[in-house]
Structure formats: structure tokens, C-alpha cells
Amino acid sequence: MPGLIHGLEPAKIAANFARAREAAGPGVEILAATKYVPVEEMGALAEAGVTLVGENRQQDLIAKHERWGEAFEWDFIGNLQSRKVKQLLPVCRLIHSLSTASAMEQLGRHATPDAEVLVEVNVAGEEGKGGIAPGEIAGFVERCPVPVGGLMTMPPFSQDPEASRPYFARLAELAAEHGLRRLSMGTSQDWRVAVEEGATIVRLGTALYV
């Protein structure tokens, strides 16, 4: 597992971000994934012009938001535990990973007026991986007490970006079937393929930082 990234260079991040922005084209948001960015290094992202960040851990998001809250918009992109929903809602623009009835129940109890979520879909049907089955989407969207803006997925890991294409294409089909406009898919190794298949949000870490 990668360790925390230290010594981030704003100029390098800005150049990487500009290249990603140009390649992604209009209509695609570039989200900086900050799981491995220490709280003290977040200023380098702000200096580089990054405005949207995504965090995997609730406690890290809260700690970073306390120090850098006004510098960024904050999305939650990690495993959504029901007991964390109350703390996340007031500070997050968007939660990418709704996939359990218990988290949905907590959304109903603590929803803010502008709350929005994405439903995480396990397109590949991988055992032990988060996300609902494609056939459950309609029921999830119908029961969700806050607006569902779209879908998110994490395909099976592969060094070959093309291996992700069928999963991204299927997620786009599912979103269209259910009238959902946001598609959060693609990380540093396969984001270009995700964009080709209709991603509206790509989640970039090392592609921005190194």
C-alpha cells in the first residue's frame, strides 16, 4: 500500500492538472483524491489551483476540512459507513459511495437541504467489494431520501486501462437507463478510458502528484 506523499510541488500539480483538464474536455470534473496527502500538504493543492478534492476516510476528511475547509469543495469517495453519515453530510458536496440500506436510513435522519449522493455499483460482481448489483439500482434510487445524482464504480484492478472499459461502458448504460447524469469512474491508471466512456467525474491521485 502506498504511503503518505510528502513534498508536493504546486507547479508540478498545476501542470499535471492542466494536462488532465485539457484531455478530459468540458463537462468532466477533475477530483483530486487525497487519501495519501497529509493535512499539512493540502496547501500545495490549493496553490496549484485544485478546487475539488475527494477523501476516502471520514476522520481524515473532517480533519482536513477543519484546516482547509474554504479552500476546496469536498467529496467523500470511500466506503460509506452508516455511523459516519451524520458527520459527512454537513461538509460534503457529494457522497460517491452509497450502497447500504443502513447508510440510506442515516441519510434520511440527517440529510441537509443540498445533500446529493451517488450510488456505488459493483458492475463486475466482485465478491467482497462494495457496491450494489445493477439490478438493485431502481429500488435504491426510489427509496433514497436524498437526490441520487448518478452512479459510481470501481472496476477490477488491472495494469491495463483497456480492461476497465467494459465496466465503464456498462455503468454509463445503467445511468442512462435510470435517467442519472453523474458518472464517477476512472482513477489515475484508467481515467482516460473512463472519459471516453462518459465519465463526468474522474478521481485522480498519483496522476496529479508525481
Domain residue limits at 166: 10-209
CATH code for position 163 = 3.20.20.10
Give the pLDDT of residue 3. 85
pLDDT of 145: 96
Within a domain: residue 125?
Answer: yes
C-alpha cell at 6: 510528502
* List of residues 6+ apart from 184 with CB closer than 8 A: 31, 77, 96, 118, 150, 151, 152, 153, 199, 200, 201, 202, 203
Q: What is the pLDDT of residue 88?
A: 97
Q: Does 141 map to a domain?
A: yes
Q: What is the dihedral of CA 200, 194, 58, 116, to 10 degrees?
A: 30
Prediction pTM value: 0.96
Q: Is residue 2 part of a domain?
A: no
**Which residues, given as ranges, of the chain have pLDDT below 50?**
1
Total structural domains within the chain: 1
Please check whether residue 59 lies inside any domain of the structure. yes
Report pLDDT for 58: 96
1 part of a folded domain: no
